[in-house]
Structure 1
Amino acid sequence: MQPVVRVSILRCPPDKFAEMRQMMNDLEAVLRPGIEAMRGLVAFYVGEDESTSSLSNVSLWTDLDAAKQLDTFRPMLDSAKPFLDKGGTFERPIMNYLPMWELKPVGKV
């Protein structure tokens, strides 16, 4: 099995970015327990880039089937509607990348 990097991007209207950033922060309490319990999770990052008015979820999974658990994770699916209602747009399809090569800091495992 190959690890998978999953990338989901939300584009925000610039005037709604701060509000949507807070909405995303508030979701942590709802999403964290279920995501942490999923088979194959290696790491999960939620990020923000105000210069592009975007928020992202980038996660690392042990395999594609593990990554695709998020496709049916009801709390995640339900969380999209408030963002859409405020003018946010999600890039679709969600990207699941198979690694081509990997870098690590020299001298570290």
Structure 2
Amino acid sequence: MTEVTGRYLIPAIKKLPGLVSYYAGVAPDGSVVHVSVWESDEHARQMSRLKEIIVDARQDAERAGVTLTPIVNHPVEWTV
């Protein structure tokens, strides 16, 4: 599923202003995590409004039997 969704998510996410970095990982058990770093909270909130995520990826995930959890924004407390 991540290969299919990556085809349209990567270009859409790259167009968003304020993106610092974006990572998608898949564990051997099939669980998936996406982590992104943004210049501001407002930039991060764009993900909750991105059609390719809230419509397209959700539909692809549901067809694959995957349950999506809501996007959660966490302020950075510290870095290494």
Contact 2:5/2:60 (<8 A) preserved: no
For 1:41 and 1:64, the matched residues in 2 are separated by: 11
Distance (Å, rounded) in 2 between the aligned partners of 1:83 and 1:31: 13
Q: Which has the higher contact order (CA 8 A, sep 6+)?
A: 1
Cα distance in 2 for residues equivalent to 1:70 and 1:84 = 19
1:81 positional shift? 1.5
TM-score by length of 2: 0.85
Q: Cα RMSD over matched residues?
A: 1.4
1:97 paired to 2:74: yes
Size of the alignment, in residue pairs?
79
Residue 39 of structure 2 aligns with which residue? Answer: 62
Higher strand share: 1
Letter in 2 for 1:100: E
Gaps of at least 5 residues in structure 2 are none
Instruction: Among all aligned residue pairs of Structure 1 and Structure 2, give the percentage whose two residues are the same amino acid.
Output: 27
TM-score by length of 1: 0.65
Moved over 2 A (4+): none
Corresponding residue of 1:49: 27
